[in-house]
Amino acid sequence: MINDLTQLLDGFGHVLTPMNLLVALIGVTVGTAVGVLPGIGSAMTVALLLPLTYGLEPTQAFIMFAGIFYGGMYGGSTTSILLNTPGESSSVVTAIEGNKMARSGRAAQALATAAIGSFVAGLIGTLLLVLITPVMVAFAIDLGAPDYLAIMILGFIAVSAVLGSSRVRGFSALLLGLVIGLVGIDRVTGQPRLTMDIPQLADGIDVIVVAVGIFAVGETLWVAAHLRRRPVEVIPVGQPWLGRDDWRRSWKPWLRGTGLGFPFGVMPAGGAELPTFLSYALEKRLSRHPEEFGKGAIEGVAGPEAANNASAAGTLVPMLALGLPTNATAAVMLAAFQTYGIQPGPLLLEREATLVWTLIASLFVGNLMLLLLNLPLAPAWARLLRIPRPYLYAGIVFFASMGAYAVNAQPFDLFLLLTLGLLGFAMRRFGLPVLPLIVGVILGPLAERQGRMALQLSGGDLSGLLGGAVSYVVYTIVLIILAWPLIRRVLPGGVSNRRGRTPAVPRP
């Protein structure tokens, strides 16, 4: 523990240099500026801005990622409150009460409680990250190839079975991702796989091109197909502030939301949607003013926004310790690590200790920068919402194309970008979740490598894939997830509550 704190202090020493502070400032500013734009979630923000870090050395690149990571989430709450347009499903609850507050003349208070709640949740979540990650690494470092294979299969099953409107759609998206991940020359046999005799596909499809194409271009095509040409109504914003009564009604929801959000972030496919809805339901139950819910209750913004940000901090624990992304933003962050030739996992703290602790220290610094910058700059961010949508999304396609081209400097990547964008559009059209595809692309080759290693260690015996006690426990969890619909039917009240996955809340 003392050694971890010493390394964290060393990380602060790296962050608190003029150049790295400037990089962090650029990250939080650009992350917020893009995240505040309508319809853009934190995952799309990170994917779109990932190419900005090319040319930076890894430490500076990940300092910028930390700022973009939190900045994109903060920007999403601004859009939800002022435009009633959540960038992603985890911001739906913020839009419910936040937009009602804004329309009743309390936009400043809604933005303030969201910003401070995000800061509190980010601060506590990062502290928990410092405490839990080394413990999980100490556990994971003794795992063998069969155990890692089991954990990756758990990741595949969890994100596919839990996310989306149906399991069929979730597993279909996962299959697409696994197929994309197979493209290229097999490193063991030297045989081309799914390259269709196209030389540019011999090295595979870069995960950054996949992420930017699916998120940025796919979302742009979707918005263009459903664009309503009408003036954007942006609610005026004063200087965000909280009165004494607002503080009294907000601080407990901040803490409760943080306590709900962080554990869900750590769990595979836990996500931020369920803890935000649970936080909303809890605050409504505990509030002294339940009649205000659905009409603009400040607790309905404070709690869910804290839960959302705490969940985001929690996703970094399995990503850093196991190399397992539990949401779309973490998947893009994992792709960023791979871009620099770094594979998150239990050996990361040994091989790249300086980088990891600098990244964690920059989360503290970036979180504080966001609070100090975004409270006074909230009116400026609101003006960005007035950008006409056609210009806005044309700009997104331009920067996405520049970023995709910068990966390998090959025009063929632009063709791939458009193709993947059309795939992303089709997935939106038919209700396929994006996260299973991204997880399949990233973890598919890693799972294949661990499976081959396990078979080599067992001399080709398939029982070698089962490993020891850890893999048995993980496969038991996998079976429970797969059998859960049947289990719910035999539980008391299971049939009647079949659709009751989340607490009922008003529609935004």
pLDDT single digits (tens) 289-335: 888 888 888 888 999 989 988 988 888 888 888 888 877 778 888 88
Contact predicate 296/100, CB 8 Å: yes
* Mean pLDDT value across residues 342-358: 85
DSSP three-state, residue 385: coil
The better pLDDT of the pair 82, 269 is held by 82
Task: Please report the pLDDT score of residue 234 as a whole number.
Answer: 56
Contact 69, 258 (CB under 8 A): no
The per-residue pLDDT for 58 is 86
State yes or no: pLDDT of 22 exceeds 70. Answer: yes
pLDDT value at 422 more than 90: yes
270 compared with 41, residue with greater pLDDT: 41
pLDDT for the residue numbered 493: 59
CA angle 481, 326, 46 (to 5 degrees): 150
The pLDDT tens digits of the residues spanning 109-133 come to: 888 888 898 899 999 999 999 999 8
User: For residue 496, what pLDDT band results from cuts at 50, 70 and 90?
Assistant: very low
Residue 453 has pLDDT above 80, yes or no: yes
Is residue 501 scored above 50 in pLDDT? no
Residue 480 has pLDDT above 80, yes or no: yes
Tens digit of each residue's pLDDT (9 = 90 or more) over 250-279: 889 999 999 988 988 887 656 667 788 888
Cβ proximity of 344 and 368 under 8 Å: no
Output the pLDDT for position 89. Answer: 63
pLDDT at 69 over 90: no
Q: How is residue 196 written in tokens?
A: 């269709």
pLDDT at 254: 92
What Å distances lie between residue 47 and 70, 223, 335, 369, CA to CA?
A: 13, 18, 9, 22
| pLDDT at position 155 | 80
- Concatenated DSSP letters for 391-442? HHHHHHHHHHHHHHHHHH--THHHHHHHHHHHHHHHHHHTT--SHHHHHHHH
Q: Provide the 8-state DSSP code for 22.
A: H
Q: Which CA distances in Å does 169 have to 173, 330, 479?
A: 6, 21, 19
**Nearest-angstrom CA–CA distance, 255 and 82:** 24
Mean pLDDT of the chain: 81
What mean pLDDT is predicted for residues 416-428? 90
| Listed residue (384, 409, 334, 397) closest to 48, CA to CA | 397
The mean-pLDDT minimum among 81-95, 221-235, 347-361, 379-393 falls in: 221-235
Residue that the structure tokens 């190399």 belong to: 323
Q: What is the mean pLDDT of residues 432-461?
A: 83
What's residue 164's pLDDT?
A: 58
pLDDT class for 230, splitting at 50, 70, 90?
A: low
pLDDT of 126 reads: 92
Mean pLDDT check: name the lowest of 114-128, 204-218, 261-275, 492-506: 492-506
* 81-95, 137-151, 155-169, 211-225: the lowest-pLDDT one: 81-95
Answer for the pair 314, 125: CB distance below 8 angstroms, yes or no: yes
- pLDDT number for residue 272: 65
Whether 500 shows a pLDDT value over 50: the answer reads: no
Res. 502: pLDDT tops 50: no
Rounded distance, CA 351 to CA 137, Å? 13
Output 114 or 468, whichever has higher pLDDT: 114
Residue 375 has a pLDDT of 78
143, 147, 152, 153: CA torsion to nearest 10: -170
Statement: residue 507 has pLDDT above 50: no
Question: What integer pLDDT is reported at residue 231 of this predicted model?
Answer: 56
Residues ≥6 apart with Cβ < 8 Å to 273: 89, 90, 92, 502
| Among the listed residues 394, 365, 441, the one whose alpha carbon sits nearest the alpha carbon of residue 126 | 365
Looking at residue 90, its pLDDT comes to 67
Residue 498 has pLDDT above 50, yes or no: no
% of the chain at pLDDT higher than 90: 10
